[in-house]
Copies of this chain bind each other. A is one copy, B any other.
Amino acid sequence: MDHPDIEQKLGGRGEEEQETRERILSAARQLMAQKGYKGATTRKISELAGVNEVTVFRHFKNKVGILTELLKEIMDVREQLEQGLQGEFSDLKQMLVSYARTYYGLLVERKEIFMICMIEADNHPEVVQMFSSLPMTAVEVLSNKLLAFQEQGHLPKVDPFTAALMFVSTFFYAFMAKYRVNLDLEMVEEELFENASEILLQGIKGL
């Protein structure tokens, strides 16, 4: 038995095993995002996963073990963001729209984990470290790109950091409103990407 964290699927079987483990993780992910770490009791997790509570402890050393496992899911954020900026774009606006899509998509895709991070920031130091990576990474990556544009003479002298911050914040806010506060923004996401990109480029005073 021990802790099968190491063995992946060595023997013939391992599918069922991963299935159970995955169900536990999924239940924990959902509950912790909703109720917080403390609110997600091991009993509730096991019930939602449809397994006995003991099984949870057979798969994970303890409750924090589950959390740390979940946290691994946001490790590769920076890479993904940078990758989203690799391609060639017809113009600056297309790049911004694309970046918005990537970032917002990333948030939605892992909404539970991000919620957990938001909620548990102060309680688990590991979380802070992991979490701080995302919001500022997103700003940094875009900021650097804008700076590059600027140095090529394609942009006048505005503060690229502030610009990046404004842009990224917008989608974070929209994300939070929709998935945390359950507010309807009354706006299609794609439309928001377009509008925000336009405004960031031209300003509201227009040309």
Q: Check A163–B204 contact: CB distance below 8 A.
A: yes
Interface residues of A in 47-101 (CB under 8 A from B): 92
Task: List residues of chain B with CB within 8 A of the CB of A196.
Answer: 162, 165-166
Question: Bound complex: CA of A170 vs CA of B170, how far in Å?
Answer: 7
Q: Describe A's contact surface by its main secondary structure.
A: helix
CB contact between A195 and one of B122, B162, B177, B187 (< 8 Å): that residue? B162
- Chain B CB within 10 A, most for which of A92, A156, A170, A192: A170
Complex contact B199–A36 (CB within 8 A): no
A106 at the interface (CB under 8 A from B): no
Chain B residues with CB below 8 A from A177, complex form: 135-136
Min CB gap A145→B, angstroms = 12
Nearest chain B CB to A187's CB is how many angstroms away?
7
A-B contact pairs, 14 of them (CB 8 A): A34-B122, A35-B122, A36-B123, A38-B39, A39-B123, A119-B119, A122-B180, A135-B176, A162-B170, A166-B167, A166-B199, A169-B173, A200-B204, A203-B203
